């Protein structure tokens, strides 16, 4: 599933292409995503100008000239493809998952502009589109989600106050979108490794020093991932022709059986499941 850095890369790519562009036509080929695409979806979007593309957590937010907002969540396998008219499009994928080219199947939504179109592809159909009509609805939509890692409300005290007296693992806390928005399985493992914290450790045993480490390493890992274009865990490129390279910096993720990268550590990277999620860690230096 695309995590915060990958969705941020898609946001950045969309901003370069669709700002101040007007939607000419919309085709919905399949309404049956995680939630049904609204029946008036086409009517709401057509003839609207794109004012901005934002992001919160793993959600893309497209601001329309008619004051409506379009939320897009890519789910497990959703990708957005850009195809220019009358041009051979070798690489269409604006994301880092699945096919670099537009697949033949599972193209559920097409949004047309003057010289190109965007196609939403989603084999597993866990993604969705949602129309937000006003600011009140917008605020209610994200009210239950925790702050983003770059929000001023996310700090060591926030982490400590939410973890204390809780029995679930610290790894599960990092994946809990009600606690912090945008972190997924890859980056949770990397954050805990750099913090030298065992992912199975119960949250109530995380002290204030460790909370500060989690705070610092969360920002470090995510900013580095964004800078390096996200993680291409398969060998595909985005629409600019460049491949996300953060996977080259993985310390633990997908390194099961390999030696820990810390010079002073003799540990071997292990892989175990937490809540049916693959979790990678060094049992020697992560305490």
pLDDT (tens digit, 9 = 90+) per residue, 104-113? 999 999 999 9
Residue 263 lies in a domain: yes
The closest alpha carbon to 21, from 115, 85, 109, 94, belongs to: 115
Are 123 and 174 contained in the same domain? Answer: no
Quote the pLDDT of residue 232. 44
pLDDT value at residue 76: 87
Q: Which long-range contacts (CB under 8 A, 24 or more apart) does 254-257 make?
A: 254/280, 255/280, 256/280
CATH code, 180: 1.10.8.50
For residue 73, being part of any structural domain is answered with yes
> Is there a single domain that holds both residue 193 and residue 125?
no
25-34, 116-125, 133-142, 226-235 — which is least confidently predicted? 226-235
Calculate mean pLDDT across residues 35-50.
96
Residue 96 pLDDT more than 70? no
Lowest mean pLDDT across 36-45, 82-91, 270-279: 82-91
What percent of the chain clears pLDDT 90, i.e. is strictly above it? 76
Instruction: Specify the DSSP element, H or E, that contains 12.
Output: helix 4-18
194 found inside a domain: yes
Please identify which residue in the block is written with the tokens 């398969």.
Answer: 234
Q: Are residues 137 and 8 in the same domain?
A: yes
Q: Are residues 107 and 178 in the same domain?
A: no
Q: Which of 79, 114, 141 is the last residue of a domain?
A: 141
Count how many Cα atoms sit within 13 Å of the Cα of residue 223 in the half-sphere of its side chain.
8
CA distance 198 to 91: 40
Residues 58 and 111 occupy one common structural domain: yes
Asked whether residue 23 is assigned to any structural domain, the reply reads yes
pLDDT at 91: 85
pLDDT band for position 241 (50/70/90)? very low
Residue 233 has pLDDT above 50, yes or no: no
112 shares a domain with 50 = yes
Question: Do 75 and 170 lie in a common domain?
Answer: no
Which tens digits make up the pLDDT trace of 220-231? 999 888 877 654
The Cα-based distances of 197 to 4, 17, 115 in angstroms read 22, 41, 50
What distances in angstroms separate CA 204 from CA 5, 158, 162, 207, 277, one per listed residue?
A: 29, 14, 9, 8, 21
Domain span at residue 163? 156-282
pLDDT at 194 over 60: yes
pLDDT of the residue at 229: 62
Output the pLDDT for position 12. Answer: 86
Distances (CA, A) of 88 to 17, 92, 147, 195: 17, 10, 42, 46
Same domain for 58 and 132, yes or no, is yes
Same domain, 202 and 234: yes
User: Is residue 244 assigned to a domain?
Assistant: yes
Looking at residues 208-212, what average pLDDT do you find? 98
> What is the predicted pLDDT for the residue at 34?
96
94-99: average pLDDT: 71
Looking at the structure, tell me whether residues 137 and 172 fall in a common domain.
no
Whole-number pLDDT of residue 237: 45
Q: How many domains are there within the chain? A: 2
Residue 173 within any structural domain of the chain: yes
* 103 domain residue, yes or no: yes
On whether both 134 and 202 belong to a single domain, the answer is no
Give the list of residues 6+ apart from residue 201 with CB closer than 8 angstroms, or none: 169, 170, 287
Residues 8 and 133 in one domain: yes
Catalytic residues: 2-3, 58, 277
Could you tell me the maximum CA-CA distance found in the chain, to the nearest angstrom?
61
Whichever domain contains 40, its CATH number is 3.20.190.10
Average pLDDT, the chain: 90
pTM of the entire predicted model: 0.88
Q: Is 140 exposed, middle or buried (0-12, 13-18, 19+ CB in 10 A)?
A: exposed
Residue 146 in any domain: the answer is no
Q: Are 198 and 283 in contact (CB under 8 A)?
A: yes
In this prediction, what percent of the chain has a pLDDT beyond 70? 91
Domain end among 107, 141, 175: 141
Q: Which of 93, 108, 141 is the last residue of a domain?
A: 141
Range with the poorest average pLDDT among 83-97, 120-134, 160-174, 228-242: 228-242
């Amino acid at each position: 599933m695309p995590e915060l850095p990958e969705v941020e890369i898609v946001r950045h790519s969309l901003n370069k292409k669709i700002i101040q562009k007007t939607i000419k036509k919309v085709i919905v080929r399949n309404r049956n995503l995680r939630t049904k695409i609204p029946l008036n979806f086409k009517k709401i979007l057509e003839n609207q100008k794109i004012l901005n593309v934002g992001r919160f957590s793993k959600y893309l937010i497209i601001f329309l000239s008619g004051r409506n907002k379009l939320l897009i969540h890519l789910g497990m396998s959703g990708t957005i493809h850009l195809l220019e008219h009358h041009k051979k499009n070798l690489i269409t994928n604006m994301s880092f998952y699945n096919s670099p080219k537009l697949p033949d199947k599972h193209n559920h939504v097409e949004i047309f502009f003057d010289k190109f179109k965007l196609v939403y592809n989603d084999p597993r159909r866990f993604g969705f589109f949602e129309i937000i009509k006003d600011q009140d609805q917008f605020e209610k939509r994200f009210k239950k989600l925790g702050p983003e890692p770059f929000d001023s409300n996310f700090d060591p005290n926030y982490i400590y106050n939410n973890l204390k007296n809780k029995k679930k693992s610290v790894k599960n806390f990092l994946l809990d979108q009600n606690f912090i928005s945008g972190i997924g399985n890859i980056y949770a493992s990397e954050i805990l490794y750099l913090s030298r914290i065992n992912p199975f450790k119960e949250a109530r045993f995380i002290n204030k020093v460790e909370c500060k480490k989690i705070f610092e390493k969360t920002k470090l890992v995510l900013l580095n991932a964004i800078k390096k274009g996200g993680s291409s865990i398969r060998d595909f490129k985005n629409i600019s022709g460049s491949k996300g390279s953060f996977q080259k910096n993985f310390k633990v993720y997908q390194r099961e059986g390999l030696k820990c990268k810390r010079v002073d550590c003799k540990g071997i990277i292990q892989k175990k499941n937490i809540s049916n999620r693959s979790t990678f860690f060094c049992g020697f230096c992560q305490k």
